[in-house]
Structure 1
Amino acid sequence: MFPHLNGLGIQDPTLIERYSLRQEAHKDVLKIYFKKQKGELFAKSVKFKFPRQIKNVLVDGGTHQYKEITEISRNLTLIIDELNKITKPEVKPEVDVKEKILTDLRHLEKVVASKIAEIESDLAKLK
């Protein structure tokens, strides 16, 4: 059912609770967390490191300049697909960037106005 996870040595993928993925230098680090079993203080987890694929991409066709880029390995993408089937991560709705910036700006205005009022109050006390 989950051949790529079995290939990693995970015998019972149904015990997987969640996973995290991060990049360290030229490696992707996958950490898989399992459901806490009865009698365990901490949930078990395992960590796997996957080397990133290195590719040379043409940057400028006129001068034939290439740039070295790295990308996630194909095997890791297949593993992540299987993990997503098991964990069913929640899909975050698209955030309107302009609306988020405006919301942050309004919040900042309130914080600054509050701080100015606090400082003016402290100044009034000094008179």
Structure 2
Amino acid sequence: ALMMVDGVILLVDASEGPLPQTRFVLKKALEGQKKVLVVVNKIDRQDARVAEVLDEIYDLFIDLDANEEQLEFPVLYAIGKDGIAKYELEDQSADLHPLFDTIIKELPAPKHTPEEPFQMLVAD
């Protein structure tokens, strides 16, 4: 399924940190040279450990042999249940616009040829 995407959003819980499935999906994304956007979610939880989790994410990238370019991933902070995303923890965001803006800015758009007939990827 990753062959159908041009970029990925790696969603990591601010208290749990990267889980085994996080490692698996990130490994596949890095192998496929997919651009990665990291979102640290649930930053409002009392047991959130945002700085530690971000360090764990960097360690995971390094452990998976990410190159210099892949290590320069954008990071956002979110409270998913409230529909809030932030560029920095201190920001006063009230919506998901930072996430949408970052997706548009950082993740590659699908490749297509507008003058050609309708095109669509299909996978089994």
Please give the range of the TM-score, normalised by the shorter of the 2 chains: under 0.3
- Compare CA radii of gyration and give the structure with the larger one: 1
**TM-score normalised to structure 2 length:** 0.28
Structure ranking higher on relative contact order (CA contacts 8 Å, 6+ apart): 2
TM-score by length of 1: 0.27
* More strand, by proportion: 1
Say which structure is richer in helix: 1
